[in-house]
Amino acid sequence: MINTTIENLTEPSRVNNPLAGDKIKTTNTKTGLVFIASHHDPYIETQEDVNNVAKLWRNKELVDTDYIIPLTDHPDHTATLAYRVALRDWPSTSDFPDTKPTL
């Protein structure tokens, strides 16, 4: 289970796609420990590295939508379930890793 929240302090809308130099705040939700660092563009050497970065994003999206599963009266319940299926299937599609599923 992932126990981390990530915030882009420079530009919140870029939390999933930070630019080099953005200040990133990572908080361990279990311990409360906070780490703030400047984002750097990772050196991605292989296609496997690209795939792994995409899967990390996908896993975070799944964790971030876990809470909706038991809330059958949530207004986005049906759309979120479909989104989660798309996230799980994404690595086996021709869109992977270039086109992320959207909610």
What is the pLDDT at residue 44?
Answer: 54
Are 18 and 6 contacting, i.e. CB atoms less than 8 angstroms apart? Answer: no
Mean pLDDT of 57-63: 90
With CA atoms as reference, report the closest residue to 85 among 61, 51, 67. Answer: 61
Say how far apart CA 46 and CA 34 lie, in whole Å: 31
Q: What is the pTM of this model?
A: 0.58
Asked if the model's pLDDT at residue 42 lies above 80, the reply is no
Say how far apart CA 34 and CA 50 lie, in whole Å: 27
For the chain, the structural domain boundaries read 1-41, 42-94
Does residue 21 or residue 93 have the better pLDDT? Answer: 93
